[in-house]
Every structure is written in structure tokens, then in C-alpha cells.
Amino acid sequence: MAGTKEIRTKIKSVQNTRKITKAMEMVAASKMRKAQERMRAARPYAEKMRTLAAHISHANPEYRHPFLVERDTVKRAGMIIVTTDKGLCGAMNSNLLRAALAHFKKLKDDGEEVDVCCIGGKGLAAMQRLGANVVSHVTPLGDSPKLDDLIGAVKIMLDGYNEDKFDRVDLFYTRFLNTMKQEPLQEQLLPLSGDHLGAPEGSWDYIYEPDAEAILNMALKRYIETLIFQSVAENMASEQSARMVAMKSASDNAASLIDELTLVYNKSRQAAITQELSEIVGGAAAV
Amino acid sequence: MNDTIQIDVVSAEEEIFSGKAEFVVLPGESGDLGIYPKHAPLITSIKAGPVRIKVPDVEKEDHIFVAGGILEVQPSIVTVLADTAIRAEDLDEERAVEARKKAEEALEKAASKQEIASVEAELAMLKAQLAMIRREGK
């Protein structure tokens, strides 16, 4: 009977799809473990660095580093967008890009120029489609990105800030909460304000050795580098987790589709047998 | 006197040490720094060398090797943001000697100023590592 053969081919193709999604799920699971370890290992350093930056921003040194000075007018803004290189990882990239786009539109509506630095292929493609001015990008990231690879692209943004080309730089990345949950996050990279870093009340006064300028230059540069590196590590861990979850649900969907199709197939097979039987019986009765 | 100070040594790779100590000695940019509790707030850069931490009620000092970084001191907290930090017991003399040989060879071959600078920095770090291993050995 027609139909059974088609259903059989359909089942086969869904089974093949399931094999692929299952394999991708397992690859993502093993990569996820490594990415999470890397991210966890880097967290204490990043957190200490953040506290240090918060303290510095509240201190009153004789030297004010340009990164610490709030500017009155914002004419040109920079955005650093961290996304994944590859797709098939659920809504993670689209959630992040939605947040980034909202910020982008808001800046444009306020009549500001926006320059974008993209880390990761998905963000780059989206921003280029949008016609944004992409000044630098890092792609592909690979599985374990090194700081050296990222610094070049980010340095363009920092130099732009130092040369007064930008008055503000924001960082967008996906923060890893747990395997099931990741959230898009916007963080103001420059100027560095102590308020959103959660600096303690009161003013701080440090002894700077050898002098405030050298130390602040070094510390703040390192702070930015650490923040970028950490955001990429979080993005990686989020990517692999999101992909694993997405592939798991795809495999589960495929499995239930196969069950349904098998049911339909068996029904139609039995219908065919019943029909054949009744035809034979009917034919015998007629004789 | 059981005054203690909270010490945190973290490197980009991992958290190396976190706990209370009676005092700590660090390789500051302009000479070694000894820090006791209630030290005045201080921020400085540190160079490659050993960090010695005296933990209360333990005779032997904890030794950690750092390859440079930033030091932040507050009256009750000392934070070391190390570029690379290795516990003394994980240091391996043979490996350090071999790495130094390689770095010296690289220095001869290095062409650009930037390369020379980076190799020299590595050499300085390895020398400090070796010095620490040898002191430990005695």
C-alpha cells in the first residue's frame, strides 16, 4: 500500500537526524566541562581585579587616569559584542544581540555615532547586516581563546577612548549562571565608575609605588584585559551549555517523532493486511 | 599577639592561596616588602620572585613563586594579582634549567626589539624561579 514506504523513509531520515544531534550533544557536553573549568578557574582573579578597580575608582590619587573620568557629553560610543562563532546553541546569541541592538538603536536615536568591535562570528555577521561601523573583530575564536588574540581588537577601542574618539565603551556578553541558564549582560567598560562596581563607601587613599600614574596605567589596563578575557570564557561556557541543552531537546524531539511515525506506520501496515484479508475472504465468498 | 591579615594570592589560572597570615614578604618593584597587619593602604607592582607567607601556628613559611603582578594592601587584606603563580613544591629545577637554556637560545636568535624584550622578561622570571628552588633545596 502507498504511504507505508514513504513513512518508512521518513522514519529513516529522522533517525539519521537524531544520530547527528545526539553526537553534537555529546561533543558539546565534553567541551562544556572544559570550558566551565576554564571559566571557574579564571573567576577568582577577575573578581579580585574588579574589587581592585572599584577601590581605585574611589581613591583620590593626585593623578586622574582618563579611564576613570566621566565625560559630560557622549558624542561617539563604542560597543564590544562577544558572541559565539557557530550557531545551533539555542536562543543565546539572539538574546544577546537583542540587548545589544536595543542599546545600538538608543545611541543612534540620541544622535551618537557608534563603532563596534565584534568578538565571535555571529555578532560580526549580525552587525554587518545592520550596516554598523565594525572597526575590529576577532574570528574565529577556537575552543580556548588566548588573551593575545583578543587584545589587538580591543586595543583599537581603548586607543580610541584615549584619543577622545569615544566617550563611552560598553561590553556585551553572555554570563554563565548554570548549565540550564545563561543571561545576556551589558557592562559599562569605560569610563570606569565605582558605583556600578559596588565600591565601598568613603574615600580611599593609597600609597602608590613607584608612582600613581605608572601603577594606575598598569592596573587599569590589566583590569580591562581581564574583563574581556573573562567575558569570552563565560561566553564559551555558555555556548557549550546552551548547545548541549539545545541538542538534547532536538534529540528528544526526534525520538518522540520517531515514536509517532512508527505508530502511524504500524497502523497503516495493519490496515493493509486487514484489507488484503477481507479482499481474499470477499473473493472466496463470491466463488 | 595573634593579629592576622587576610592574604589572597590569585593568578589568571587559579586561586593559589587564601587564608590568614601573621605576615607576608613580597618581591616589590623597588625591593622586598614585608607586610604586617594594619599596614597602610598601598598599591604597587611586583616583580618575579618568591612570596613568603607566615601562617599562624605553622612553623614553616608558605612559599609561592610569582612572575610579577599587582599587589594591593589594605589594613586587613593583602591581595596579590599574580601573572603566574606556582606553589614552591610544584617548582621543578630541571624544567626551569631547561626552559632557561631555551630562552637564552631564543635571545640569541631574536631579531626584533619586541622579541628581545619578551625573551628577556621570560629569562628574568626563570632566573628568579631557579633562585627560589635552590634556596628551598638548602
Q: Do B81 and A49 touch (CB under 8 A)?
A: yes
Within 37-96 of B, beta carbons closer than 8 Å to A belong to 40-45, 70, 72, 74, 79, 81
| Active centre residues of A (catalytic) | 89
8 A C-beta contact, residue A169 and residue A191? no
Q: Looking at the structure, do residues B70 and B20 belong to the same domain, yes or no?
A: yes
Rounded CA-CA distance A73/A50 in Å is 26
Q: Which of A48, A206, A215 has the CB atom closest to B10's CB atom?
A: A48
Q: Do B72 and A226 touch (CB under 8 A)?
A: no
CATH assignment of the domain containing B82: 2.60.15.10
Q: Looking at the structure, do residues B104 and B121 belong to the same domain, yes or no?
A: yes
Q: Which of A48, A207, A226 has the CB atom closest to B79's CB atom?
A: A48
Q: Looking at the structure, do residues B79 and B96 belong to the same domain, yes or no?
A: no
Q: Output DSSP code: residue A67.
A: G
CA A129 to chain CA centroid, nearest Å: 18
Rounded CA-CA distance A148/A153 in Å is 10
Rounded CA-CA distance B81/A172 in Å is 25
8 A C-beta contact, residue B96 and residue B129? yes
Closest to A172 measured CA to CA, from A85, A244, A84: A84
Evaluate if residue A7 carries a pLDDT over 80: yes
8 A C-beta contact, residue A173 and residue A120? no
Q: Looking at the structure, do residues B16 and B75 belong to the same domain, yes or no?
A: yes
Q: Looking at the structure, do residues B97 and B82 belong to the same domain, yes or no?
A: no
Q: Which of A56, A205, A210 has the CB atom closest to B30's CB atom?
A: A210
Number of domains comprising chain B: 2
Pick the residue of A43, A47, A52 with the most B CBs within 10 A to test the interface with B by mutation: A52
Q: Looking at the structure, do residues B80 and B31 belong to the same domain, yes or no?
A: yes
Q: Do B30 and A209 touch (CB under 8 A)?
A: yes
Give the mean model confidence (pLDDT) for residues A116-139: 90
pTM recorded for the entire structure: 0.81
How many Cβ atoms from other residues are within 10 Å of residue A56's Cβ?
27
Q: Do A207 and B13 touch (CB under 8 A)?
A: no
Give the mean model confidence (pLDDT) for residues A250-260: 96
Give the mean model confidence (pLDDT) for residues A213-240: 88
Q: Do B10 and A207 touch (CB under 8 A)?
A: no
Rounded CA-CA distance A97/A104 in Å is 10
Q: Which of A52, A207, A209 has the CB atom closest to B79's CB atom?
A: A52
Mean model confidence pLDDT for chain B = 83
Per residue in B81-93, pLDDT (tens digit) is 988 777 777 777 7
Q: Looking at the structure, do residues B10 and B26 belong to the same domain, yes or no?
A: yes
ipTM: 0.73
Rounded CA-CA distance A180/A27 in Å is 17
Give the strand pairing for B42-54 and B62-73. Answer: antiparallel
pLDDT of A203 = 58
How many Cβ atoms from other residues are within 10 Å of residue A32's Cβ?
22
Residue with cell 589560572: B13
Name chain B contacts of A208, Cβ cutoff 8 Å: 42-44
pLDDT of A286 = 87
Helix (H, G, I), strand (E, B) or coil at A266: helix
Query: Which residue in chain A is spatially nearest to B70 when comparing CA positions?
Result: A219
Q: Looking at the structure, do residues B70 and B29 belong to the same domain, yes or no?
A: yes
Q: Looking at the structure, do residues B16 and B65 belong to the same domain, yes or no?
A: yes
Residue percentage of chain A with pLDDT more than 90: 47
Q: Looking at the structure, do residues B107 and B74 belong to the same domain, yes or no?
A: no
Q: Which three cell numbers stand for residue A258?
A: 520517531
pLDDT of B15 = 84
Q: Looking at the structure, do residues B77 and B104 belong to the same domain, yes or no?
A: no
Q: Looking at the structure, do residues B119 and B73 belong to the same domain, yes or no?
A: no
Per residue in A66-121, pLDDT (tens digit) is 888 777 777 888 999 999 998 899 899 999 999 999 999 998 898 888 999 999 99
Domain of residue B17: give its range.
Answer: 5-88
Per residue in A12-61, pLDDT (tens digit) is 999 999 999 999 999 999 999 999 988 888 888 888 888 888 888 777 66
